[in-house]
């Protein structure tokens, strides 16, 4: 995957919910290709039967009792919301 | 001359003898910021009113109720949330964000009686090695104002090096505490993954991120790490491991200590002065009774690629929460929800953040997942095993923190790969999850160099013991930049 086309970059940007211009797509295509090119070196290593590391500590699930506890007040929770109405978060129309 | 050239212990002695008050210390911090920060550009937000009021309250607390850090000023990296004090991660997307709770470490600072002076600049979302990726300002290296302080905790290191604050907190995902500590000639510790709660640390790469202390000397560093460590019910990845009295480990005794020196750490790309400073440091430790041998960490060369795939993948997922809906910047004049997401994120994130989100999204997407993400996780296992093997036979691993001293502002901005290579000696440590410190060990053309000491899981005590013994035997940590006196 040495080549990363402008179209691929646009697709990835869409998946990542980023609007990008034609010039940006071109620039990112080159830069991302250089990085993925560099990442190709991992293929030199035989990793058959190597267990992937997702986490360095031998952790198990941490569970607590299912008890209701008081959370933050609604007023506090809404403190940073730009648009709100009647204690609810307002967003633009979801369906056309 | 500033009060902050003194250690925590010396400052406590001054407080106890009533020569100074906590209010004086707080004022000193703001005076230093007034005097120096036009040049250093370390602080994004100041907490002056609250800090001044807190200091007055703390001055009333009886001496017998105070711990070793009580009343001392500290700066906090801007990716650690502080209730009521703007927290931006140096990103436009969080401009004006007013956190509604404190990070666990911030609560712990308060319990220790420390006074938060303000929030420190960084590379946006901790992605970078120079602080040039901040959306707000470029922090300067106090040793040479035309050079970077390192990153991403560049301002956390610069503020301590400039004597604006004697303590700071940084975070380290691939070297973000140690590399700036090295560039700025201060002491920076990345603890074992899980040692310090990440609750309230804005997540970059959750399996790699750790908060850690930056100070002017090893003893103060050990005191601060003890204060912020421990199991936290709010962070399921914080470890249920006893927090030792790290300062008690500073015996000065390294007789019989077995040091491993990886040949990969002194190879290609490492400057001659850096190499020599490490060899000199080994001689110092040898004279104190330690022994060293060359070892190999054969998968080191794969760490950089592994890191960029894994950290970017985790980041692409973590940063999906910044959508303009619940907090931070929200784009205007949009037609629908999809456009709101896309415009908010495009206008809110800087280029490096976008690049990494896209690299991560790409690595995780169908068709590339196995070749990139899973492969990198497997290579991570091989890298971790390298460290496990060496640390089974040796007490610590020693090498440089960074291949060179601080580079010039603007030197690497157009070339992501060269920029990434600055972290080549720190990244494998995060992948393995072990703890490591950077301490001052010399100069190249007047610019500080750092010695990296790496230890076994949850054995920060041994790292501190070695670092402290070395510090006692050398004078590098006593040097201060010219700007220190406001020259």
pLDDT at B240: 93
The answer as to whether A29 is a domain residue is yes
pLDDT at B72: 98
Q: Select from A18, A92, A96 the Cβ nearest to the Cβ of B340.
A: A92
ipTM above 0.90, yes or no: yes
Give residue-wise pLDDT tens across range B95-123.
Answer: 999 999 999 999 999 999 999 999 999 99
Contact B207 A56 (CB under 8 A): yes
Closest CA to B260 of B468, B456, B426: B456
Determine the 3-state secondary structure of B464 from DSSP. helix
What does DSSP say about strands B167-172 and B210-215: parallel, antiparallel, or unpaired? Answer: antiparallel
Contact B302 A82 (CB under 8 A): no
pLDDT at B58: 98
pTM greater than 0.95: yes
The domain in which residue A21 lies consists of 6-42
The answer as to whether A49 is a domain residue is no
- CB contacts, 8 Å: A53 with chain B: 377-378, 380-381, 384, 431
Residues B313, B376: Cα–Cα separation, whole Å: 10
In A, residues 3-22, which contact B (CB 8 Å cutoff)? 4, 8-9, 12-13, 15-20
The answer as to whether A16 is a domain residue is yes
CATH code of the domain containing A34: 1.10.20.60
Q: Scanning every residue of chain A, which has its alpha carbon at the shortest distance from the alpha carbon of B307?
A: A39
The answer as to whether A14 is a domain residue is yes
The answer as to whether A50 is a domain residue is no
* Total tally of structural domains belonging to chain A: 1
Give residue-wise pLDDT tens across range B299-315.
Answer: 999 999 999 999 999 99
The answer as to whether A13 is a domain residue is yes
pLDDT at A1: 45
Residue ranges, chain B, pLDDT below 70: 486-487
pLDDT at B486: 56
Tokens 């089974």, residue located: B392
pLDDT at A2: 52
Contact B97 A53 (CB under 8 A): no
pLDDT at A10: 96
A83 touches chain B (CB under 8 A): yes
A54 touches chain B (CB under 8 A): yes
The answer as to whether A65 is a domain residue is no
How many residues make up chain B in this entry? 487
Interface test mutation site (partner A, options B207, B358, B435, max chain A beta carbons within 10 A): B358
Give residue-wise pLDDT tens across range A46-93.
Answer: 999 999 999 898 877 888 889 999 989 999 999 999 999 999 999 988
Residues of B marked as catalytic: 77, 152, 176
- CB contacts, 8 Å: B341 with chain A: 17
Residues A72, B57: Cα–Cα separation, whole Å: 27
Q: How many CB pairs under 8 A join A and B?
A: 158
Question: Nearest C-alpha of chain A: how many angstroms from B470?
Answer: 29
Task: Please state the rounded mean pLDDT for residues A1-19.
Answer: 88
What SS3 string covers A18-84?
CCCCHHHHHHHHHHHHHHHHHHHHHHHCCCCCCCCCCCCCCCCCCCCCCCCCCCCCHHHHCCCCCCE
pLDDT at B325: 94
A80 touches chain B (CB under 8 A): yes
The answer as to whether A80 is a domain residue is no
Residues B75, B9: Cα–Cα separation, whole Å: 19
Contact B381 A83 (CB under 8 A): no
Residue A34 scores a pLDDT above 50? yes
């Amino acid at each position: 995957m040495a080549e990363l086309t402008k179209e691929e970059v646009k697709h990835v940007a869409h998946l990542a919910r980023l609007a990008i211009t034609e010039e940006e797509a071109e620039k990112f295509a080159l830069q991302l290709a250089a990085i993925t090119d560099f990442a190709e070196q991992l293929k030199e290593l035989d990793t058959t039967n190597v267990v992937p590391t997702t986490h360095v500590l031998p952790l198990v699930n941490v569970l607590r009792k299912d008890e209701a506890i008081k959370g933050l007040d609604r007023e506090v929770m809404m403190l940073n919301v730009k648009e709100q109405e009647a204690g609810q978060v307002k967003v633009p129309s979801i369906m056309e | 001359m500033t009060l902050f050239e003194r250690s925590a212990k010396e400052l406590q002695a001054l407080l106890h003898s009533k020569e100074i008050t906590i209010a004086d210390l707080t004022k000193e911090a703001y005076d230093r910021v007034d005097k120096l920060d036009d040049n250093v550009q370390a602080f994004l937000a100041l907490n002056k009113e609250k800090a001044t009021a807190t200091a007055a309250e703390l001055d009333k607390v009886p001496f017998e109720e105070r711990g070793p850090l009580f009343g001392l000023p500290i700066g906090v990296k801007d990716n650690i949330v502080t209730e009521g004090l703007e927290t931006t991660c140096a990103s436009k997307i969080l401009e004006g964000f007013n956190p509604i709770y404190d990070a666990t470490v911030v609560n712990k600072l308060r319990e220790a009686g420390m006074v938060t002076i303000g929030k420190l600049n960084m590379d946006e979302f901790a992605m970078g090695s120079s602080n040039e990726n901040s959306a707000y300002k470029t922090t300067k290296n106090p040793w040479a104002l035309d050079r970077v302080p390192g990153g991403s905790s560049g301002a956390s290191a610069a503020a301590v090096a400039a004597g604006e604050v004697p303590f700071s907190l940084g975070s380290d995902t691939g070297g973000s505490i140690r590399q700036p500590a090295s560039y700025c000639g201060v002491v920076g510790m990345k603890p074992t993954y899980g040692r310090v709660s990440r609750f309230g640390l804005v997540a970059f790469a959750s399996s790699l991120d750790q908060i850690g202390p930056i100070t002017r000397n090893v003893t103060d560093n050990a005191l601060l790490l003890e204060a912020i460590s421990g199991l936290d019910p709010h962070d399921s990845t914080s470890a249920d491991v006893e927090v030792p009295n790290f300062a008690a480990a500073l015996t000065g005794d390294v007789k019989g200590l077995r040091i491993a020196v990886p040949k990969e750490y002194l190879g290609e790309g490492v400057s001659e002065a850096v190499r020599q400073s490490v060899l000199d440091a080994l001689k110092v430790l040898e004279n104190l009774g330690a022994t060293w041998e060359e070892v190999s960490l054969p998968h080191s060369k794969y760490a950089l690629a592994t890191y960029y795939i894994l950290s970017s993948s985790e980041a692409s997922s973590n940063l999906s929460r910044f959508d303009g809906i619940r907090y931070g910047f929200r784009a205007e004049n949009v037609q629908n929800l999809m456009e709101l997401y896309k415009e908010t994120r495009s206008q809110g994130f800087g280029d490096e953040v976008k690049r990494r989100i896209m690299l991560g999204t790409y690595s995780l997407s169908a068709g590339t997942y196995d070749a990139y993400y899973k492969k990198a996780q497997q290579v991570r296992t091989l890298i971790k095993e390298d460290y496990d093997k060496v640390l089974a036979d040796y007490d610590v691993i020693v090498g440089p923190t960074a291949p060179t001293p601080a580079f010039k502002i603007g030197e690497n901005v157009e070339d992501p790969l060269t920029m990434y290579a600055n972290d080549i000696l720190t990244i494998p440590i995060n992948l393995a999850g072990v703890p490591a410190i950077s301490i001052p060990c010399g100069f190249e053309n007047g610019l500080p160099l750092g010695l990296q000491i790496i230890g076994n899981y949850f054995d920060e005590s041994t790292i501190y013991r070695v670092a402290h013994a070395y510090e006692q035997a050398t004078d590098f940590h006593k040097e201060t930049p010219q700007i220190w006196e406001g020259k």
